[in-house]
């Protein structure tokens, strides 16, 4: 942040790195999704040129490697990075360039998910879908909708997702985080096969059944879900209960920087706080791979690799996965 702000001429509230974290990282006292989103403002301000976008993407890959991640889907909203003259095409190409370099350097697989923003005019998200479709075979694997859910139901952007589907983009939508079960119904009706979070499905048994019977995957992020108050307390998170009800659930980090979390720590939280067994955490990890948007050949190869790793780890766990 300090380096990119200096190079980009972006004023910061402080030059002290430790104090700067107060403006960059959410905490357990963060009151809502709206407040959580505010912690993205400074990072977005410094990511307004091609070198910064390439560097941030590449260094994210480096961080993922250090966390022993093999498969990643990186999501971001291109409309947030055009404030200083970049086009949507410029932004997408810059992130794909950083991803290509980071993927090669650090042995990652996966791809990029382009995210539309709920509070933008629907026509602008249609335009984003049209531009994104040009990159389907260049590393972009999906199309998403995120942002403040209050007053911005998914259905307002159904045209953008109709375009995205027609261009071959896989669909995932943030729903059931700040807004309730109705947002989940709408997201599924718009073609979402995965939902970002979806934890508030627990408020409606019919929606839970719809998710389970439809094979919809919920990509949860327990630390973030507690910070945004999608769940009242971390201990209340329905991850384990959803898994035991036969729902496809995965564990993700949401924002590694804003939530100050790694995937390893999220796995530890699932076990230590939510009571998931190692076998359940492993099943969720494998579900993330099975439900991934990258090509099937890649995911099949990684599945064999993961199974081999599990076999080696099993003796160390006393015969338990």
Residues that are catalytic: 177
Dihedral of the alpha carbons of 237, 243, 244, 246, in degrees to the nearest 10: 140
Q: How far apart are CA 89 and CA 110, in angstroms?
A: 20
Fill in the DSSP letter of residue 120.
Answer: S
Q: How far apart are CA 70 and CA 229, in angstroms?
A: 30
52's enclosing H/E stretch is: helix 50-66
Phi, psi of 250 (to 5 degrees): -130, 165
Largest CA distance in the chain: 57
| Helices 278-290, 263-272: inter-axial angle, 10-degree rounding | 140
The two structure tokens encoding residue 268: 């530890």
Q: How far apart are CA 64 and CA 71, in angstroms?
A: 9
> Among candidates 25, 20, 57, which has minimal Cα distance to 40?
25
Ordered DSSP codes for 218-259: EEE-HHHHHHTTSSSSGGG--HHHHHHTT-EEEE--S-TTTT
Q: Which residue is it, tokens 């910070």?
A: 227
> Among candidates 111, 156, 119, which has minimal Cα distance to 137?
111
Strand stretches in the chain, DSSP E? 71-76, 109-117, 140-146, 170-175, 194-197, 217-220, 248-251
Answer whether 130's CB lies under 8 Å from 90's CB: no
């Amino acid at each position: 942040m300090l380096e990119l702000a200096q190079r980009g001429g972006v004023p910061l509230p402080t030059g002290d790195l430790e104090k700067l974290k107060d403006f960059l990282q959410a905490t357990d006292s963060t009151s809502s999704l709206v407040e959580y989103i505010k912690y993205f403002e400074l990072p977005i301000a410094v990511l307004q040129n091609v070198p910064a976008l390439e560097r941030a993407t590449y260094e994210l890959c480096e961080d993922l490697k250090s966390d022993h991640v093999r498969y990643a889907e990186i999501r971001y909203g291109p409309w947030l990075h055009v404030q200083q003259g970049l086009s949507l095409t410029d932004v997408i190409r810059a992130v794909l360039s950083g991803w290509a370099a980071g993927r090669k350097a650090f042995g990652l697989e996966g791809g990029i998910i382009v995210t539309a923003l709920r509070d933008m005019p629907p026509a602008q998200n249609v335009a984003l879908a049209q531009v994104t479709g040009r990159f389907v075979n260049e590393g972009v694997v999906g199309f998403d909708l995120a942002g403040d859910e209050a007053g911005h139901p998914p259905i307002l952007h159904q045209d953008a997702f109709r375009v995205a589907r027609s261009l071959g983009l896989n669909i995932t939508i943030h729903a059931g985080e700040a807004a309730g079960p109705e947002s989940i119904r709408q997201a599924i009706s718009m073609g979402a096969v995965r939902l970002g979070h979806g934890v508030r499905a627990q408020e409606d048994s019919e929606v839970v059944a719809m998710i389970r019977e439809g094979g919809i995957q919920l990509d949860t992020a327990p630390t973030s879900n507690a910070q945004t108050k999608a769940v009242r307390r971390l201990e209340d998170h329905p991850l384990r209960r959803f898994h035991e009800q036969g729902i496809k659930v995965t564990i993700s980090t949401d924002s590694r920087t804003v939530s100050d979390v790694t995937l390893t720590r999220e796995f530890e939280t699932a076990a230590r706080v939510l009571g998931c067994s190692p076998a359940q955490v492993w099943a969720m990890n494998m579900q993330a791979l099975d439900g991934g948007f990258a090509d099937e050949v890649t995911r099949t190869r990684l599945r064999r690799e993961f199974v081999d790793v599990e076999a080696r780890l099993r003796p160390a766990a006393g015969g338990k996965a």
